[in-house]
Structures are given as structure tokens and as C-alpha cells.
Structure 1
Amino acid sequence: MSLFTWLRPRQINDQVRQRVSRLTPPAPLGEHTLRNQRWVVLDLETSGLNTNRDQVLAIGAVVIEDGAIDFSQQFERTLYQRNHKLTSSVLLHGLSPSAIAAGCDPVEALLDLMDFIGDSPVLAFHAPFDQRMLARALKDHLGYLLQHPFFDLAELAPLLNPQITLREAGLDDWTACFGLEAIERHNASADAMVTAELALILFSHARRQHLDSPALLDQHLQRWRRRRQQSHGF
């Protein structure tokens, strides 16, 4: 493959452009209660951790609505990736080359995902990684600019539980701390489900701290980030 071919933007057909134009834009974070907000909990399995080079291999998502996980609203896709190469990451996510070869068209999967998300904010553990990977995939395949707000449970957990000391804690650490257990780790759907369970616990803590709206929670999180940056001399 020549450098020119690699740099050339992907051609997006008119049918895809029309579907993209009908996608619902994100809603502003409101002052209504956390319970009254529809949330989408997202988890991605990827070919690696390089957000500029690696690929999204699987997507799992579940909805929190009316203060509970809505089991009727779940999303799961394995994506076909033409240039996918077997790497050590398969030991984590378990997605074999044959599973990727049998996956669905990334364009259709990403369009379906954005229809599923709608105007809702997104929750994820280590959300900046998922956000960057998803944003790049959407831009590459759909020419779509991701603007939905993401909340990172890896930040919300210590923010709302300052009495708990867990250094560089991962999802396993926080789920174990609250007595949760994933059915199968590094599976997008299973990870999304246990992340949703963790989110419900954290929302309960937020309400007790009078942070009972998406807007208030976001404002408190922004202040917490600034204090952390100042304390680390950034």
C-alpha cells in the first residue's frame, strides 16, 4: 500500500451520509435528576492500546434508565476488520481471527451504535480511551464528529469515595471493593454490564452528596480535576 493510498480519506457513500445526517445530536447535560437521565454504558474491545493505530474489534453497551439497568436495551457487535493482525491482545479479549472475519460491517455497526446511544451521555471506565477510539472509528468510517459527553467511572469512583484508598485502581479493583463480579472480563458486553452496576452504586453515592443531576455531577467532576492538577503541579 502506498503512502498516498493510506492517507486518502475513506469514501463515504450517499446512503451512509443520509443515515449520518439523521443521527440524533447529544442533548446538553441537564438539571434533572440522575434517575431521570437515560445513560448509555459503553465498553470497547480493541486490537491494542494505541489510539492512533489500533482498531475497535467489539462493542458492548447497555442502558441505565429510571435508575436501573434496562435489560431490554443492550447492544453487542463484533466488527470485521480487513487488516486485522493477530496480536497478544487476543489473550485478553479472546477474539480470534475467525471471529473478526465473521464480524459485521463497521459502518453498519457504528451507525447502529449511534442510533442506540441517541442523545444520551455515555459512561465508561477509563472513558478517555473509549472516547478517542470511538471518535476515530466514527470519523474514519462515517465522517462523523463525536460530541457526546463521556463520564469516566475511573474518576467518579474516587471522587465520590474519598475515604477509599485504591492507587491506580482499575475496574476489577472498584468492582471488588463494592462486591461486584463480572461474568466474563474483557468481553465488551460483560464489561459494560458490570460497569453499569458500578455506575448505579456511584449514582447512589452522588445523590447522598447532593449531586443529583448530570450537570451538577459534571461540574463537581471538573472542579475535582482542577484540584488534582494543581496538587500535582500541572
Structure 2
Amino acid sequence: MDRSVTATDLGGAMHDLSLWGLFLQADWVVKLVMLGLLLASVWVWAIVFEKVTSLRRVNKAADAFEDAFWSGGSLDDLYRKEGDRPSHPMAAVFAAAMREWRRGAQRLGGSDLVAAGLKERIDRTMGVTVQREMDRLERWMVFLASVGSVAPFVGLFGTVWGIMNSFAAIAGMNNTNLAVVAPGIAEALFATAIGLVAAIPAVLAYNKINSDLARFGSRLEGFAAEFGAILSRQTESAAADPGRATAPVAE
């Protein structure tokens, strides 16, 4: 008999020590813990895949957008192309600011007070849009953090429960032979192993993705600051000459 796979207790019952066998022989509470951790692990990998592909996509779109933005063309033309349905966060920030600027620029009429109010509204609009877009990108990050911190303890709960049942069975049989003790302990420890399998990738992925999200958030905020400065200069020009309020250019 292969002792790495099965063990025999004094009563002659066979204990399957394969992973599948450990699961099937475990107490129903331990089984629920294992199933929950396995589902959490699958969901973690789904989130990781979605976040990695999303960040790659928005960074690529932002590169193309910045090339068009700094090409020296009219921002009105870029707004007509991107403004109706922004397809990525940077375009959404740009469209929100342009929409607010176009709404208020024609009413400047040489008023410095109105110009200051318009600049404040533009900055606030871009800030809100940046936050909204980052909130969308950060969706499910709390789940990654939660799995990374909680999964080992959930697995430990399954282990403790399983060991308690094993000791109760040992006491009932009045036998501490290793062949009797080992299967129950192995079933219990399997829950902790699954908890670590779920937690370790979640922690690593959270740290990496959170760093990439922070970097992209800084990129959005930098773009908003630069675009705000461009619109601020255009607003000052439009306040002095309302006829210049329709075609801002990135420079």
C-alpha cells in the first residue's frame, strides 16, 4: 500500500489522503470553509485579470489621447471627436472640462469675477470626474484586500474546527495511534492551505494593482492640472475679448 496516499486505522478503514479524498472526508463545516475559499480564490483571479487588462487598455488610450491633445490642433475639434461618449478616463476629464468651459465662456463679458468663478467650476468638475473615474477603476479592490487579510483566518477556523472533531473522535476511540490521528489532522490542515492559496495571490495582486492605479490617478490629476492651466489662460483672454472664447489650443 502507498502510505503517501492512504492510511489505515486500527479498525481497518481506509483513509484517502489525496486532496480530493481529504475534502470528501472532511466535516461539513470544514467543507463549507474550503468551498468558500476556493470560490474566493477563483473570484480573486477573475478580478486580477480584469484589472490588469483594464489598466493596460486605459493607459494605451491615454497615450493616444495625449498625442492628439498636444499635437497643436484645436481642442474644439478634439472635443467634437471625444466629447459625446468618452471611451476612457482621460477623455472623460477632458470632455467634462470642455463642456463646462463652453457653457460659461460666452457669458464672461469682461468680468473678472465671472472668469474666476468659471475657473473654479472647471477645476471642481475635473476633480469630480477624476474621482469618479478612479472609483470605477478601483471597483473590487476592497474584495482583494479583504481576501488577502481574512482568508488565512477563515482557513484557520476550518483547521481548528477539524482538529476539534479529530480530538473528539480520538477520545471516543480511546486510541492515539498515528494512523487514527493523521487523517483528521490532515483534513483540518488542508483548510489552512486553501486559505493561503487564496490569500497570497490576493495580497500580491492588491499591492501591484493598487500601485498601478495610484500611478494612473496621478497621471489623470497631472493632465487635469495642465488642462486647467490652458483653460485658465483662455478664460482670461476671453474675459478681455469675448470673441476669443471658442477655440482653445493646447500649448
Q: TM-score, normalised by structure 1?
A: 0.21
Structure with more of its chain in helix, by fraction:
2
Structure with more of its chain in strand, by fraction:
1
RCO higher in structure (CA 8 A, sep ≥6) = 2
